Amino acid sequence: MEDMIRSKENDAGRKNFSSVLYEKARPLWAESAEKSFVRSMADGTLASERFRVYMLQDYLYLHDYIDILKRIRGYAEDTGLEDFLDSVIRETENELYRMHIPSMKRIGIDDEEIRNCALMPEFRNYIDYMREQLDDKGLLAGLTALLQCSWNYAYVAQLLTERYPNEIAASSYRSWFEAYTCAEYILANQNWIDVLDAKTADIGREAAEDLADIFVTCARYENSLWDALLKTSDVQGGMR
């Protein structure tokens, strides 16, 4: 799992900021990998109705995630960061329209079901929190919050793939793990990590602590989502 961070020190011999974030969030990510919902995907025992709920909620979540990315793009003041964010937006929209929606169709989710779906409160609270951090604290807060989500999925998928290779190979949810452990996804995360490290190279202690708090809070939100998905009795994914 350590290879998700390319370098542990910067040119001054200090830890990169991403290493600090990783150390703080790793216990929560490990906890996420133990959630019954994720474990059931790994061994293939998750009820298909539960996965339908997840796919609908994730579909709505990705729309908001893209919206936050575009708002972060508005804060960018250099072409390098603008180009990076444009790339992330394109990749996330590609995930939504070329992968996520076809996957929903394959499991029988139709357009009417999508139109009638609404975010569960736990998902809405998480989205609202990330938007508030961006609005209140600016670009670095937004980058840090959204990175946690992407990096969290990469960590959890890789950890479970290493832990349960045979079970995942036979699971009907194998494609979920493959999507978040593929080379392209790992590279996209590494690029984001590198951008954040560059932008925080000279960050002060108080600002760093604020960003780390955001990162950890987002990890806690992620864990609450898995719990909420398992508890919901609404197999339609939340009706408007």
The whole-number pLDDT of residue 10 equals 57
| Residues in the chain where the model's pLDDT stays below 50 | 5, 7, 235-240
The whole-number pLDDT of residue 12 equals 56
pLDDT digits (tens, 9 = 90+) for 73-121: 999 989 999 999 999 999 999 888 888 888 899 899 999 999 999 999 9
Per domain, the residue ranges of the chain are: 15-231
pTM to 2 decimals? 0.91
Question: Which one, of 97, 200, 83, lies nearest residue 139 by Cα?
Answer: 200
The whole-number pLDDT of residue 1 equals 54
The whole-number pLDDT of residue 99 equals 82
Which CATH code is given to the segment(s) 15-231? 1.20.910.10
The whole-number pLDDT of residue 237 equals 46
The whole-number pLDDT of residue 95 equals 85
